[in-house]
A and B are shown apart, each in its own frame.
Chain A
């Protein structure tokens, strides 16, 4: 049961966090200057957006769940299973960020899900 909760946290809080961060970065604007000082300025600008803080909070929860799971499961099992966030990510991208997802992109995401299922079944 604990395992399920941990995986749920990794997938849902992790994806939710990434969506919030993505929204904040879209608000920050496209990064065109990659000099360290400019990158730091962009990150500081991003920190003024509340979505960034919400995202970082959710991702922190997902991170500690990942740490907990890694203490009793193999890395080669845990990491592929967390790819279940692909469906959540695509839906979130579509409904929360207004991204359009083409048929071919859906096909790719579906293949990723099939792959994750095989990884799960190949546990041993």
Chain B
């Protein structure tokens, strides 16, 4: 029974890191890619130009760093919790990404889309109440 509490705490902590670092990374990538412009690439030189712009963008590198943080937290939590628990539990990130899109990028989010995001969070709540591990450890 002793092992229950630390498991819940570290699971909670890792998922918290995931739902902050993941959306932040996506928003930074979105901001960076909007700066790079269109990907209607017709020639190799245009492709090289786009790739060069991507690698020169500080915003994109920050986004990559943020997503790497997300990735490491994800890896660690997957070492003890089920994938089919972790993936839906981390989908709180969809609410966070919508908020960041509005406040950081100035995007407009329609009421229907907010409703969709709210339903996603309800789904997350239900999934979060299920047991995090269904497979036996060796």
Within 8 A of A (CB), among B1-34: 10, 23, 26-27, 29-30, 33-34
CB pair B137–A68 under 8 Å, yes or no, is no
- B109 interface residue (CB < 8 Å to A): yes
Q: Which of B39, B88, B91 contacts A105 (CB 8 A)?
A: B88
Within 8 A of B (CB), among A49-89: 59, 63, 66-68, 70-72, 74-80, 83, 85-86, 89
CB pair B97–A76 under 8 Å, yes or no, is yes
CB pair A76–B76 under 8 Å, yes or no, is no
CB pair A70–B33 under 8 Å, yes or no, is yes
Beyond A31-B80, A79-B23, is A109–B123 a contact (Cβ under 8 Å)?
yes
Instruction: Give every chain B residue within 8 A of A85 (Cβ-Cβ).
Output: 87
User: Chain B residue with minimal CB distance to A68?
Assistant: B39
Q: How many residues of chain A get a CB closer than 8 Å to chain B's CBs? A: 64
Instruction: Give every chain A residue within 8 A of B75 (Cβ-Cβ).
Output: 21, 25, 43, 46
- B127 interface residue (CB < 8 Å to A): yes
Beyond A68-B39, A117-B116, is A83–B91 a contact (Cβ under 8 Å)?
yes
Beyond A67-B54, A111-B126, is A76–B98 a contact (Cβ under 8 Å)?
yes
Contact with A along B20-62 (1 / 0, CB 8 A): 0001001101100110111100000000000000100000100
- A90 to B77, alpha carbons, bound, how many Å? 17
B74 nearest CB across to chain A (Å): 8
Q: Which of A29, A93, A110, A115 contacts B82 (CB 8 A)?
A: A93
CB pair B88–A112 under 8 Å, yes or no, is yes
B19 nearest CB across to chain A (Å): 12
Instruction: Give every chain A residue within 8 A of B113 (Cβ-Cβ).
Output: 76-77, 80, 118-119, 122-123
Contact with B along A100-116 (1 / 0, CB 8 A): 11101101111111111
Q: Which of B91, B101, B121 contacts A75 (CB 8 A)?
A: B101
CB pair B79–A42 under 8 Å, yes or no, is yes
- A94 interface residue (CB < 8 Å to B): yes
Instruction: Give every chain B residue within 8 A of A99 (Cβ-Cβ).
Output: 82-84, 134-135
B108 nearest CB across to chain A (Å): 8
CB pair B79–A79 under 8 Å, yes or no, is no
CB pair B112–A122 under 8 Å, yes or no, is yes
- A121 interface residue (CB < 8 Å to B): yes
User: Chain A residue with minimal CB distance to B80?
Assistant: A30
- A44 interface residue (CB < 8 Å to B): no
Instruction: Give every chain A residue within 8 A of B74 (Cβ-Cβ).
Output: 18, 21
User: Chain B residue with minimal CB distance to A103?
Assistant: B130
